[in-house]
Structure 1
Amino acid sequence: MIVNTNKSQTLPAVEAVELSEQLPFTLKQIKDAIPPHCFEPSVPRSLAYFFLDIGIIAGLYAIAAYLDSWYFFPIFWLMQGTMFWALFVVGHDCGHRSFSRYEWLNDLIGHLSHTPILVPFHGWRISHRTHHNNTGSLENDESWYPISESRYEKMTGLERFARFDIPLLMYPVYLFKRSPGKQGTHFDPSSPLFKPSEKNQVLTSTICCIAMIVLLGVLTYQWGILWFVKYYFMPYLIFVMWLDLVTFLHHTEEDIPWYRGENWNFLKGALSTIDRDYGFINEIHHNIGTHVAHHIFLNMPHYHLKEATEAIKPLLGDYYRKSDRPIWQSFWRSYRNCHIVSDTGATVYYRKTR
């Protein structure tokens, strides 16, 4: 169920459309409701999260190598893949420039966080910026935006299979090919994703990823393909599934409106996301479940998002959305019911195709 701060009933679709047409508050009013310190990053605190994640990852590798047991490896894959995801979230702060006020430090830690998990930091950062600047826009959003009915009819069987049947494995494909109907790759400086002025940044991140692939190749040559599967590929696969799951869940729900043309604006789009509760994983992956506040104020450090969320909930009222369903139940519900949107209408909602 999608609830407001007072745990009211789910908004009917008609009422949700009416609410979405005119917001009773401004971006400034929302910002004024948040304690000012929530917008201030702390370099020591940000670095502490980075080094904590690196330390846990190193410790898990040490334990796995010491035990070298197939009884432990499935546990190791799940834990290490989750930590890869946590490390990605640290780099995510760097990409939003909320890790610190120093661009060079954001870029350094961003590359140290993302390169080991084969994410081109600048390429991803720029496309992710596009996503945040256009969240909820049917025409311009970058990731996990709906497929229109007419676009769906033109999709090949392979495209439909990838988009609707194996959504938790699509992130590497997205890095190379983007979403259906959009061209470009995150690794090519000449991609339409990027401005000419961003060429060197994109190239730097691509070179870093190539260097990581070479390193993995050398280690695999030295220790064998089984080493690669046990110590890198399986944790990486879990990381990809975490990334796709979280991104999917925060932007895919039957009651979340999507806007077409001039009916969209930044604040309405930012409110077209939904908070999720991941239980004890919340702290491990740095409270990424507080997604509404994050989309309204993308430059806020992750460790202030919980406080900011509590501060804005009374003001947002029914516009604040949080699901109290278990994560996997939420995923299954959206997986089965959220496929396409109508070709017409200023405000539209997901519906199923089958």
Structure 2
Amino acid sequence: MNTGQKETTQTNPWQSFIKNSASYQKPDSLKSVWQIINTFIPYVGVWILLVYSLSVSLWLTVPLLIIAAGLLVRLFIIFHDCGHGSFFKSQKANRYVGMLFGILAFTPYDKWHSMHMKHHATVGNLDKRGVGDVWTMTKEEYLASSKKRRLYYRLYRHPITMFGIGSLYVFLIQNRFTKDWMTQKQKNNVYLTNIVLVLLIVAMSFAIGFFTYLILQFIIIYMAGMAGLWLFYLQHQYEDVTWVRSNDWNYTKLALEGSSFVKFPKLLQWFSGNIGFHHIHHINARIPNYNLPKVYAENKIFRAVKPVTFRASLRTMRLRLWDEKLQKLVGFEEI
């Protein structure tokens, strides 16, 4: 386990931070508006350039598609902050901006955030897995499963399935349907999102042509979806992660030991909306994304948490099962 992280948690200076974190969680309207301006306007601008690039050269189209996907990831982070009520002081503003950016990301606002709140309330709890997280079996559960279920789990956890097929399934298919557990408000939001998406597709088809829009949008949502799922995977599936049973579960402890600090280069940190500071986000989800680097810089206790580097993130791809005896994630080859 991450000894620096464990020792910091045991000496427990975190409660002091939590009590004094109110100054960080106050939204700054100017920063919020500026983040919308420097993300949404470039996203629209890149779409315009993409259409013109098709008549110029694919060598110009490809990098523009990558930039558009990166900007869509950043728009999704704003959508994510709005759902936590952390982006604006006004909850109406959070909802309207969140719903708009959710539509651009093919994600219904109420449905997604309902699942995400459950994820925050149960992160790292082995007895409450399954809502808003990556399906993770324990070693004992896997060994006790049928051959059919083992095969299904292996396919689910394979990188090609999870990030390749999974990104399309989640954003294009799963997000289009309601569930029995959803409230009527959440179901209505799914219907509204789908209706607006149809209208958007019709409008864009008239503006630039149906197949042109379809191809560009498909590639952008596919790349953004893969990047987004990879980010979410890294946040709770890494070498030093902690999972416990309900009797040993503690919100602060698991926010730190069950959520990663992914150290990105500055450019990727910008496109990912500072979501790499995920351990801080789980300590206090009301802190806007633009304040997370400030929290990290001004509070040395967070620097005791070992960062997950790019190389370490690649190693996490082989981790598939939680071994309760060893208290760590292991690969299939270790069974």
Superposition TM-score tier, normalisation by shorter sequence: 0.7 to 0.9
* Equivalent in the alignment of 1:181: none
* Residues 1:265 and 1:297: Cα distance change in structure 2 (over 3 Å): same
3-state SS in 1 of match to 2:219: helix
Decide whether the 8 Å contact of 1:134 with 1:269 is kept in 2: no
* Equivalent in the alignment of 1:60: 46
**How many Å separate the matches in 2 of 1:129 and 1:265?**
16
TM-score by length of 1: 0.81
The question of 1:303 aligning with 2:290 is answered yes
What are the Cα deviations for residues 146-178 of structure 1, in whole angstroms up to 9, with x where unaligned?
22224434425344223223222324535699x
3-state SS in 1 of match to 2:12: coil
The question of 1:330 aligning with 2:316 is answered no
Equivalent residue in structure 1 for 2:78, among 90, 105, 115: 90
CA drift of 1:117 comes to 1.6
* Residues 1:213 and 1:151: Cα distance change in structure 2 (over 3 Å): farther
**How many Å separate the matches in 2 of 1:165 and 1:216?**
30
* Residues 1:175 and 1:74: Cα distance change in structure 2 (over 3 Å): closer
Decide whether the 8 Å contact of 2:262 with 2:276 is kept in 1: yes
Decide whether the 8 Å contact of 1:123 with 1:187 is kept in 2: no
The question of 1:107 aligning with 2:89 is answered no
What are the Cα deviations for residues 194-222 of structure 1, in whole angstroms up to 9, with x where unaligned?
4x4xx214422432134304532664588
**How many Å separate the matches in 2 of 1:63 and 1:187?**
29
Unaligned stretches of 5+ residues in structure 2: none
**How many Å separate the matches in 2 of 1:186 and 1:130?**
17
**How many Å separate the matches in 2 of 1:211 and 1:313?**
46
* Equivalent in the alignment of 2:106: 118
What are the Cα deviations for residues 126-148 of structure 1, in whole angstroms up to 9, with x where unaligned?
10111111111112243125222
CA RMSD of aligned residues (A): 2.8
3-state SS in 2 of match to 1:39: coil
**How many Å separate the matches in 2 of 1:55 and 1:186?**
25
* Equivalent in the alignment of 1:348: 327
Number of residue pairs aligned between Structure 1 and Structure 2: 320
* Residues 1:308 and 1:237: Cα distance change in structure 2 (over 3 Å): same
**How many Å separate the matches in 1 of 2:171 and 2:221?**
15
CA drift of 1:186 comes to 5.6
The question of 1:287 aligning with 2:277 is answered no
* Equivalent in the alignment of 1:4: none
Letter in 1 for 2:11: P
* Equivalent in the alignment of 1:28: 15
* Equivalent in the alignment of 1:5: none
* Equivalent in the alignment of 2:155: 161
3-state SS in 2 of match to 1:350: strand
Letter in 1 for 2:329: Y
3-state SS in 2 of match to 1:341: strand
Equivalent residue in structure 1 for 2:196, among 185, 200, 211: 211
**How many Å separate the matches in 2 of 1:283 and 1:277?**
12
CA drift of 1:24 comes to 2.3
**How many Å separate the matches in 1 of 2:20 and 2:88?**
23
**Structure holding more helix per residue:** 2
Equivalent residue in structure 2 for 1:144, among 134, 137, 149: 134
3-state SS in 1 of match to 2:163: helix
TM-score by length of 2: 0.85
**How many Å separate the matches in 2 of 1:43 and 1:289?**
23
Decide whether the 8 Å contact of 2:53 with 2:60 is kept in 1: yes
CA drift of 1:226 comes to 4.3
* Residues 1:202 and 1:278: Cα distance change in structure 2 (over 3 Å): farther
* Residues 1:263 and 1:173: Cα distance change in structure 2 (over 3 Å): farther
**Which deviates the most, 278-287 or 124-133?**
278-287
* Equivalent in the alignment of 1:228: 214
Decide whether the 8 Å contact of 1:257 with 1:348 is kept in 2: yes
CA drift of 1:187 comes to 5.4
3-state SS in 2 of match to 1:254: coil
* Residues 1:147 and 1:173: Cα distance change in structure 2 (over 3 Å): farther
CA drift of 1:273 comes to 1.3
Decide whether the 8 Å contact of 1:249 with 1:330 is kept in 2: no
* Residues 1:200 and 1:158: Cα distance change in structure 2 (over 3 Å): same
Decide whether the 8 Å contact of 1:278 with 1:289 is kept in 2: yes
Letter in 1 for 2:28: S
**How many Å separate the matches in 2 of 1:24 and 1:228?**
54
Unaligned stretches of 5+ residues in structure 1: 1-9, 178-184
* Equivalent in the alignment of 2:320: 339
**Which deviates the most, 168-177 or 36-45?**
168-177
**How many Å separate the matches in 2 of 1:105 and 1:40?**
15
* Equivalent in the alignment of 2:228: 243
